[in-house]
Structure 1
Amino acid sequence: MAVNFFEESIRFSLKPKTVYKKWLKEIALAHGKKIGELNYIFCSDEYLYNINVEYLNHHTYTDIITFDNSEEEKLIEGDIFISIDRVKENAAKLSTSFESELQRVISHGLLHLLGYKDKKEEEKQLMRTMEEKSIAQFQTCST
């Protein structure tokens, strides 16, 4: 089991990494799954925009793109790209802390890999509920 964090084209360091790794593993376990290899790549708006255009043909900025590399039903594997620029902007718009918004987005990527969707309104509501539950769980991991 490996949860990895990388920075691409930005100056950012996730801390404390051990708490985030424990938290993500606990979220997966709560859904009856294990993490195989999960890579979080923190990047700039432009870097993520280019991925969005190249791989998804979407010409929009976004806060997160999740690529599911899972081959086994119970084993989660994937690459999750997160724009730190967008997380900062969203935190300001939502009047929340950067840390809370970052936790929301980090959990959002894993929740996608766990099977949660967010295209329809009822899916979005469930995703938000699960994000909030995940953020609350982070607090217990960090104490």
Structure 2
Amino acid sequence: MISFNYEIDFVLEEENVYESWIASIIKSESKFLGDINYIFCNDEQLLKINIEYLNHDTLTDIISFDYSEANLIQGDIFISIERVQDNANDFNVSFEHELKRVMAHGVLHYCGYKDKTEKDTVLMRQKEDEKINLFHVEL
């Protein structure tokens, strides 16, 4: 089950479309959907989580807590809407495109993709693009 939670004044339009899309990402990686919680928040909230749980005193767009077991994908994904908007502006893409990239990014981590090395980051970006292209596409 996929749930969307809002800690700020933001609501994802057409949640059911996003649910289907996230499920299709997981299916395309030959994994199974468990419980995934998306929590939309602001920079301040995500910074507190980053400091408390990861000992990183930096702003970030996403923090994911992976509770996956084998091929059952589950976890909590915190997303700063402020960071997503700033990144969209910096990368000259729409807010919606950047939000999809970040939402896919969290699930891709659960599927085993990393982004700590340059090689891993290149693959992660390719996978993000591939999964964004699944939006509105039924598998």
Band the TM-score falls in, shorter-chain normalisation: over 0.9
Q: Does residue 41 in structure 1 map to residue 39 in structure 2?
A: yes
Equivalent in the alignment of 2:27: 29
Partner in structure 2 of residue 122 of structure 1? 119
- Over the aligned positions, Cα root-mean-square deviation in angstroms equals 0.8
Take 1:74 and 1:114, find their aligned partners in 2: how far apart are those partners? 8
Structure 1 alignment gaps of length 5 or more: none
> Take 1:61 and 1:18, find their aligned partners in 2: how far apart are those partners?
29
SS in 1 for 2:11: coil
- Equivalent position to 1:50, from 44, 48, 51: 48
Q: Which residue of 1 is the match for residue 17 of structure 2?
A: 19
Mapped partners of 1:116, 1:74: distance in 2? 13
Percent identity among equivalent residues?
51
Choose which of 78, 84, 103 in structure 1 pairs with 2:75. Answer: 78
SS in 2 for 1:22: helix
Q: Deviation above 6 Å: which 4+ runs of structure 1?
A: none
TM-score after normalising by structure 2: 0.97
Q: What amino acid maps onto 2:94 in structure 1?
A: S
Aligned pair count reads 138
2:41–2:78 CA contact under 8 A, matched in 1: yes
Q: Name which of 104, 107, 110 aligns with 1:107.
A: 104
What's the CA shift for 1:139?
Answer: 4.1
Per-residue CA deviations over 1:31-62 (Å, capped at 9, x if unaligned) read 11111100000000000000000000000000
